[in-house]
Amino acid sequence: MNMLIRLLVVACLVLPFAACKKAEAPKVEAQAAIPLPTSSEQKDWKPYLEYKLTPHMGGITSSPFVYFLPKSDVEDFAGKYQRQLEKLEGDLGRGIIEGNMLVFASPDSEKEVEMIEAAFKSVPAGSMKGVKVIFIGTGVLGERVKAAVEPAGVNYIFEEAK
């Protein structure tokens, strides 16, 4: 009986110390900065866009709508611009609901901004609450985008292209 009591006392003293081992915090690896692509190829922009968008994905329930225009010197740029504008206008016309993200990036940011301004003119005020709009470009153009999209009630996020 004495032996049993001693074992219980020892177990009571050792068990709390064994259970108190703190769990190690998960190691967060910092993602290396990805430089701004210089090409017009969308495939070259994909890793850069993932790098820029990952911090903003909280609350997003589906894949982002990404609108990308190549440089204006590529073959059939006018056609690509027109198709992208029609796609954006169609998406906005159907309605973008809360939990979605629209992303705008281009090596020709000026034309991208013109497209955004044209498409958002017909969006009813306050109709896109809970939708994130991310523009990747320069600060001056970012202010133009902000003025064009904020009346729709979006959560506007500017990411500097660098």
pLDDT tens sequence across 21-79: 555 545 545 567 888 898 888 889 999 999 999 999 999 988 999 999 999 889 999 99
- How far apart CA 109 and CA 158 sit, in angstroms, is 13
pLDDT at 105: 94
pLDDT at 24: 52
Q: Is the dihedral of CA 26, 61, 161, 154 positive or negative?
A: negative
For the entire predicted model, the pTM comes to: 0.78
pLDDT at 83: 95
Q: Residue ranges per domain, the chain?
A: 27-160
Mean pLDDT of the chain: 85
Percentage of the chain modeled with pLDDT above 90:
66
